[in-house]
Amino acid sequence: MWSRVIRFFKKDSPSRNDLEVWKGEILEELEGIKKVLRRQTLFLEALKKEVLAQVGEKVLQDAEPIRQLAESFFYFDSFLREGPGLPSGQNEAAEMVWKKLELLLSSLGLELIRRTGEPFDPRLHQTVERAEGENGNMVVTKIIQPGYLYHGQVIRPARVIIGELPTKEKQEL
């Protein structure tokens, strides 16, 4: 096509017929390029979808040992906090480990659902038990199994026990 374009512009006083022929050839070729580009775009779109899906699957697969480690630490930490709870130094140490673990998980797009005291959200929490009380202001009082999110999507909700948010009076008592 380029040779035709060059001829089109360089040839001294081309005949009207020449111009018409070259124009037709160039337009035809451009049509071909458009077709190829369109197909290439489709190919690239398909490739992008495929690659993204594969990368997502691979990341989740590769992150599995880290997720399992975080879950194991969750259960160990929960055990340590049973009864009177942790002395302040140990509590601080555990929180530091959690911060590091959560940073690592978030670098992989993962987030653990593990916190108590948060309002019950049926998207994130699956209730296993509900403590006696009215229906209003239900909060997570215990996590039985942590859940997790991958780029904001719930892969597994946390299994929880919920109860009422303690009133100010109850807290003061």
Contact footprint for other proteins (CB under 8 A)? 1-2, 32, 35-36, 39-40, 43-44, 47, 72-73, 75-76, 78-79, 82-83, 120, 122-123, 125-130, 135-136, 138, 142, 144-145, 153-155, 157, 159, 161-162
Strands 125-130 and 158-164: parallel
- 102 vs 121, beta carbon nearer other proteins: 121
The least distance separating other proteins from the CB of residue 31, rounded to whole angstroms, comes to 11
- 72 vs 90, beta carbon nearer other proteins: 72
The least distance separating other proteins from the CB of residue 50, rounded to whole angstroms, comes to 9
- 51 vs 172, beta carbon nearer other proteins: 51
CA–CA distance, 31 with 27 (Å, rounded to integer): 6
CA–CA distance, 147 with 112 (Å, rounded to integer): 6
The least distance separating other proteins from the CB of residue 173, rounded to whole angstroms, comes to 25
CB neighbour list of residue 164: distance below 8 Å, 6 or more residues apart: 131, 133, 134, 136, 137, 138, 139
Quick check: 149 and 111 in contact, CB under 8 A? Answer: yes
Tokens of 84: 């009177």
The least distance separating other proteins from the CB of residue 94, rounded to whole angstroms, comes to 14
- 16 vs 141, beta carbon nearer other proteins: 141
β-sheet bridge partners, residue 130: 162
The least distance separating other proteins from the CB of residue 157, rounded to whole angstroms, comes to 6
Size (the chain), residues? 173
